Structure 1
Amino acid sequence: MNAMLSYVYAEADAQRRREGSSGREAIRGGPRHLGVTARRAVSRPLVEAAEVGGPDAGSANAPRSRPRRTGGCTPPASRPQIPVKRLLLDLNVFLDVILDRPPDADVAAALWAAIERGQGHGMVPAHGVTTIFYLLEKARDAAFAREGVERLIGVFAVAPVDDNVVRRALALTWPDFEDAVCAAAAEASGCDALVTRDPDGYPNAPLPVIDPAAALSWLTQE
């Protein structure tokens, strides 16, 4: 398990070094069970007037700085914003990474790392969080489980499972109710796709259902 989770962190960390480190810092200190990177906004202090105009900048007699001329040049057109794909991952994909389950752990870890790098917006169904906590606690202890869940939700948003989601899941009349809840939660959260190792287990799903390899290719395509 530790080897696979270290791989997730290494993948995301290597990509961050290639893309530059502005505005993003890795968590320093403490174990990195799930390779989660904290996305903390780095605020720059405002430049004081005295620093710009010297010691007399704040006085009434200080000369006013003239606006810089642009020479009539129009600013370059900004690139169009590409919407980030929104994916809800089925519980089995998370467990493949956390429990290092071959042969699916590698692609699941690569998908986790791509989402951690910001190449997609990942979500975990709310009911899956308690299951993940239980399995981590069983594997080690409660402290390990708490830290694992904290780092999990540091990368993946939690898709709510409320009464409307449950009613929608019941209306799907699938034999596997947990799968129906995942699909209903993904639909309610506006996801572009649901990611699972068993796409055939989601018949007539209300949104596209793809496997982790397809999701990884989708997120990392140029």
Structure 2
Amino acid sequence: MNTQQGTLNKEGRTREKLIIFVKNEEAGKTKTRLAATIGDEQALEVYQKLLGWTFEQTRNLEVAKEVWYSRFIAEKDIWEGGDFTKQLQSGENLGKRMSNAFQQSFLDESFQKVVIIGSDCAELTSDIIQQAFQELEEHEFVVGPAEDGGYYLLGMRSYHPEVFEEIEWSTGSVFQKTVEKIRDIGLNHTTLKELNDVDTIEDWNRVKSGL
């Protein structure tokens, strides 16, 4: 079976896992920078469209797929329509929450590639996610840089908590600091093409016609 279809271990289970970080669909708690311009309810509607895009790009990927919620595990939402397992994020900041998700994933030794994405990027496609898993054949890490200096995707072949430590999250230095952490621990990485997360009205205006 080729990488695009998902590689299997000797027990016939996929060796690849995709983690999708989402926020619960609550007005006033999603897309707060965007909400400052268009209001809480409209910002929630935008986020729901981004969730729909993320769902469509991931639903047919032949990897293990987990949706990790920010506050509580929701029922009867869009993720019921695909082969997604539901989990709850834990940790005091984004880095710790991602680190915990990777740590839990690699406790299952059958997984040899784990990739995490958010739910804010309307330019992220299934092809790019598949490329990330393919890159992990040759590299320990794969990173998808975002235009704002963060990243929209991070993948690794084994758990390395160092890449989440001593980083100032939600700043323009997250991607660069992460790459420096990878180099500091002596491992190799590759990067995907730069994409744009939706945080502001300008970001939204760039992509909304495609959703």
Q: If the TM-score is normalised by the length of the shorter chain, which range does it land in? A: under 0.3
* Structure having the larger proportion of residues in helix: 1
With normalisation by structure 2, the TM-score equals: 0.25
TM-score (norm 1): 0.24
Decide which structure has the larger Cα Rg and report it.
1
